Structure 1
Amino acid sequence: MRAISSTSFAVFGAGLVAISYGLARFAFGLFVPPIRDELSLSTSAIGLIGALPLISFVLATLAAPAVANRLGARLAAVLSGIFGVVGLVLISQADSAFTLGSGVFACGICTGLMMPALTTGMQAMVKRSLHARVSSVMNAGTSVGIIVAVPTVLLMADAWRLAYLSFTVLAAAGVVATWFFLPSVSPVVPANAAPPPPLCELPWSRLSRLTLFAFLMGFVSSAYWIFAPDLVITLGGLPPSTTGWLWFAVGLAGLGGAFVADLADRNNPPITQSLMLMMLSASLLLLAASPSHPLLAIFSALIFGLAYMSLTGLYLMTGIRLLPGRLSIGPVLPFLAVSLGQATGSPTIGALINAFDYAVTFSIIAVLGIVIALLSPLFPGHIHQEADDAPEEETGLQAAFDHQLQNEDGEPLEDLEETSEAATDGTSDRR
C-alpha cells in the first residue's frame, strides 16, 4: 500500500463514492425508459425493481460497521467494489426482471458498504482535525458520478448495455486502485489510547435529533428525486431529454456541497441547515410554479443539488464527530435515516399526487420543508474535539500508523507505546 496525503485520500474517496453512489445506484433511474422498453417490463415490475437497491442499501448499511471493523478498510472497500462490478455486469446483461433486479440489488450493497469502509480508512490515514473536511469532499463524489452518468444517458440512451459495461470498467478500476491506496488494517489505535466511550455515555439526545432531521430531509427531498422528471414532462410538457439536464444540474451544483458543508460545520450548523432546507423547499416551489420553462427548471435543479449535497455532507460530518472512535458507524446513522425518509416519502408523495396534483403536492412538501427549517435551532451545534486542540496527539497517531505500515508483513508490533502519544477518542460539547 502506498501512503497518500489527506487531500489525495479525499479525492480518491470521492472517486469511489462517485462509482458506488453515482453510477451503481443513481444512474439506474436515468436508464429506466430504454430498459423498460427493451425488456418489456410493466410499471409495477419497474417499481418493485426500483425498490430493491434501497432494501439492499439499508441491509448493507446495518452490517457495514461490523464488516469494516472486521475486514479493515481495504478489504471492506474491495468487497463493496466487487458487489458493484457484479451488479453492473448483471444489469448490462439483463434479459429478465430477475436478472435486472439481482443487478440493482448488488449495486445497493455496494453503496451501503462503501462509505463506512472509507471512513474506517480515514481514521487511520487522516488527521482527526481534517475528518470533517475530508468526509464532506468524499460525500460530494455522488455529484461527480451523476455528472458522468447524465451525458452517458443523453449520448447512449439506446445503447444502455454498452453504457453499463463502461460503468463496469470504471468500477473494476476502482477495485484495483482501492487495493493499492487504502490501508489493509482496521483503524490504527495506539496501545495506550483511551477506548471509545461506552454506549451509555454517547450523546443520545444529539444523535436522536440528527437522525430525525436526516429522516425528515430525506422525506422532503424524495419529492424531487422521484417525481421531478414526471412533473416537468407531464405538467410542463417538456421533452424527456430535459430530465437528463436536470440531473446534470443537480450533480454540478452538488459539488458545492463539499465546501458549504465544511463552512456550515465551522460556523453555525443549525443556521446553515435552516438555510439549506429553505433552498430545498424553494427548489420544489420553483419547479411546481414553472414546469414548462426549461431554464427555470434547470435553475431549480441547481438550487436542489447544492442544498441536498450540503445537507447530506453536514449530517455525515456531524455523525462522525458525535461518534469519535467509531468512524465506521458515524456515517451509518444519517445515511440510513435519509434513505428511510426517502423510502417513506416516495409512496406518501405518490398518494398525494394521485389525490391532488403535482403542483399542490410539491407545495405541501415545500411547506413541510420550511417548517422543518424553522426547527433547526434543535439541530446539534458545534462539536468540540479534543484532538483539534492537541496537535501532538495527531502526530502520535500518524506515527503509530507509519509504524504499523512497516509491519504489514504480519510481524508483531513492538514498542508501539514509544512510537505514539496517547490519543483519546472522547469528545466534549461546547453547548
Structure 2
Amino acid sequence: MTSLSSTKFAIFGAVLIAISFGLARFAFGLFVPPIREELELTADLIGLIGALPLVSFLLATLVAPLAADRLGARKTAVLSCGFGAIGLALISQASGALSLGVGVFACGICTGLMMPALTAAMQAMVKRSLHGRVSASMNAGTSIGVAAAVPAVLFLTDAWRYAYGAFAGLAIFGLLAALFVIPSVSRVSPTRTAPAPAISMLQWSRLFRLALFAFAMGFVSAAYWIFAPDLVVTIGELPSSATGWLWLAVGVAGLGGAAVADLADRNNPAITQALMLMMLSASLALLAASPGELMIAAFSALVFGLAYMSLTGLYLMTSIRLLPGRLSMGPVLPFMAVSLGQATGSPIVGMLVNKAGYENGFALFAMIGILVSILSPLYPRSIAEAQEDDEEPETGLQAAYDSQLQYLDEERSP
C-alpha cells in the first residue's frame, strides 16, 4: 500500500469518484440523444432506464458499509471499479432497452460502493479534523468525470459505443490503482476507540430534515441530468456534438462546488442552500426557455454545475458533522437521499416530457425547486450548535469520544 498525505488522498479519491460517479453514472445523460435514436427508445422509457442506476445505487449503498467492514476498504473499492467496468462495457454493446438497463444498473452498484470504500480508507489515512474538507474535495471529482466525458462527444460524434468502451478501460485503470493505494483495513481498530454514542433524537430530527432537502434537490436535478442534452437536440435542434459543451460547463463550474460547500459549512449553510437551490431551479427554466441558443444553454449548464456540486458537498459535510465518528453512515445518508430523489424524479419527468413537452416539464420542476428553497430556514444546523440550545445527557460521552479520537489523530501524526 502506498502512503498518501491528506491532499494526495483527496486527489486520488476524486479520481475514483470521477470514474464511478462522473463516467459510470452522470455521463449517461450526455449520450441519451444518440442512444435514444439508435436503439429507438421513447422519452418515458429513457426516464425509467435513467432511474435504474439510482435504484441500484441505493441498494448497493445499504450493504456498502457492511462490505467495507467485512471486505476492507481496498476490496470494496476494487469491487466498485469492477462493477463499473462491467456496466460500462455492457452499455457499449447494448442492443436494446434490456441490455442497456442491465449496464446502467451495474454502473449504479459501482457508485453505491465507492464512497463508503473511500471513507473507510479516509478514516485510516486522514486526520479526523480534515474529514469534512477531504470528503467535499473528493465529491468534486464528479465534475472531473463529467468534463472528461466531453471529448468523447466532441470527437466521437454518434460513436457512443466507442466512448463507453473507453470509459470501461478507465474503470479498469481505477481498479488497478485502488489495489496499490487503498489500505485493506483501517489502522484504527475497534479495541482502541470508545464505542460511538447512540444517535440522539436531536440528531435524528436534523438528519431527517437534511434527507428531505437532499431528496428534493435530487428530484429537481433529475430533469437536467437525464434530459438536458436531449432537450437541446430535440427541441433546440442543436447537433448532438453540441451537448458536449453543456457537460463541459457542468464539469468546470462544478469544480467550484467544493470551495462553496466548505465556505457554507463554516458560515451560513441555510442561506447557501437557498441560494444554490434557486440557482439550480433557474438553470432548468433558462434551458427550457432557450434550448436553441448554445451560449445560453452553456450558461445554464454553468449555473447548474456550480449549484449541484455545491449542494451535494454541503449535504455531505453537514451529515458528517451531524454524525461525528460515524464515517460508515454519515457520508452515505445524503447520497442515498439525493439518489432516491433522482430515481423518483427521472420517470416522472419522462412522463411529463411525453405528455406536456420539455418546456412544461422543466418549468414544473423548476417551480418545485423554488418552493423548496423557500423552506431553507429549516435546514439543520450542526450538532454542536444544537447542543448549545439543548444540552443532553450524552453530551459528556460525545465529548469523551471526540477527545479520544483527537488523541489518536495526534498519535498517528508524524
* TM-score, normalised by the number of residues in structure 2: 0.88
Residue type matched to 1:397 in 2?
D
**Cα 1:160/1:363, change in 2 over 3 Å:** closer
Structure-to-structure mapping, 1:32-431, within 5 angstroms = 32-36=32-36, 38=38, 40-43=39-42, 46-95=46-95, 97-186=97-186, 188-189=188-189, 191-199=191-199, 203-384=203-384, 393-394=405-406, 396-397=408-409, 399=411
Preserved contact between residue 30 and residue 244 of structure 1 (Cα < 8 Å): yes
- 2:26 aligned counterpart, secondary structure: helix
Query: Aligned equivalents of 2:337 and 2:133: distance in 1?
Result: 22
Specify the structure having the higher radius of gyration (Cα): 1
Residue type matched to 1:343 in 2?
A
- Where does the alignment leave 5 or more consecutive residues of structure 1 unmatched? 403-431
Preserved contact between residue 283 and residue 303 of structure 1 (Cα < 8 Å): yes
Deviation at 1:195, TM superposition (A): 0.8
Query: Aligned equivalents of 2:105 and 2:187: distance in 1?
Result: 29
- 2:278 aligned counterpart, secondary structure: helix
Deviation at 1:15, TM superposition (A): 0.1
Residue type matched to 1:309 in 2?
M
Residue type matched to 2:369 in 1?
G
Query: Aligned equivalents of 2:353 and 2:28: distance in 1?
Result: 23
Deviations 1:301-354 (A, max 9, x none): 100100000001111111122222221221221111111111222233344445
Preserved contact between residue 24 and residue 108 of structure 1 (Cα < 8 Å): yes
Residue type matched to 2:168 in 1?
T
Q: What corresponds to 1:9 in structure 2? A: 9
Preserved contact between residue 124 and residue 401 of structure 1 (Cα < 8 Å): no
Deviation at 1:85, TM superposition (A): 1.7
Deviations 1:54-94 (A, max 9, x none): 22111111111111122221111111111112222333344
Aligned CA-pair RMSD: 2.7
**Cα 1:8/1:395, change in 2 over 3 Å:** farther
Deviation at 1:256, TM superposition (A): 0.6
The worse-fitting range, judged by mean Cα deviation, of 355-364 and 275-284 is 355-364
Preserved contact between residue 268 and residue 382 of structure 1 (Cα < 8 Å): no
Residue type matched to 2:253 in 1?
A
Residue type matched to 1:134 in 2?
V
Residue type matched to 1:221 in 2?
S
The worse-fitting range, judged by mean Cα deviation, of 197-206 and 298-307 is 197-206
Preserved contact between residue 27 and residue 146 of structure 2 (Cα < 8 Å): yes
**Cα 1:302/1:130, change in 2 over 3 Å:** same
**Cα 1:88/1:118, change in 2 over 3 Å:** same
Query: Aligned equivalents of 1:41 and 1:239: distance in 2?
Result: 18
The worse-fitting range, judged by mean Cα deviation, of 378-387 and 153-162 is 378-387
Preserved contact between residue 150 and residue 247 of structure 2 (Cα < 8 Å): yes
Deviations 1:24-50 (A, max 9, x none): 122233334444555x45436655543
**Cα 1:306/1:121, change in 2 over 3 Å:** same
**Cα 1:71/1:390, change in 2 over 3 Å:** closer
Preserved contact between residue 18 and residue 144 of structure 1 (Cα < 8 Å): yes
Preserved contact between residue 158 and residue 240 of structure 2 (Cα < 8 Å): no
**Cα 1:192/1:53, change in 2 over 3 Å:** closer
The worse-fitting range, judged by mean Cα deviation, of 103-112 and 132-141 is 103-112
Preserved contact between residue 190 and residue 397 of structure 1 (Cα < 8 Å): no
How many residues are treated as equivalent by the alignment?
A: 401
Residue type matched to 1:135 in 2?
S
Preserved contact between residue 89 and residue 164 of structure 2 (Cα < 8 Å): yes
Deviation at 1:245, TM superposition (A): 1.2
Query: Aligned equivalents of 1:130 and 1:3: distance in 2?
Result: 17
Deviation at 1:226, TM superposition (A): 2.5
Query: Aligned equivalents of 1:300 and 1:53: distance in 2?
Result: 25
Query: Aligned equivalents of 1:87 and 1:50: distance in 2?
Result: 14
The worse-fitting range, judged by mean Cα deviation, of 205-214 and 96-105 is 96-105
Q: What corresponds to 2:390 in structure 1? A: none
**Cα 1:98/1:216, change in 2 over 3 Å:** closer
Aligned identity (percent) is 67
**Cα 1:256/1:363, change in 2 over 3 Å:** same
Residue type matched to 1:206 in 2?
R
- 1:243 aligned counterpart, secondary structure: helix
Residue type matched to 2:267 in 1?
N
Residue type matched to 2:280 in 1?
L
Query: Aligned equivalents of 2:196 and 2:306: distance in 1?
Result: 34
- Where does the alignment leave 5 or more consecutive residues of structure 2 unmatched? 386-397
**Cα 1:181/1:55, change in 2 over 3 Å:** same
**Cα 1:301/1:113, change in 2 over 3 Å:** same
Preserved contact between residue 188 and residue 397 of structure 1 (Cα < 8 Å): no
- 2:194 aligned counterpart, secondary structure: coil
Preserved contact between residue 73 and residue 120 of structure 2 (Cα < 8 Å): yes
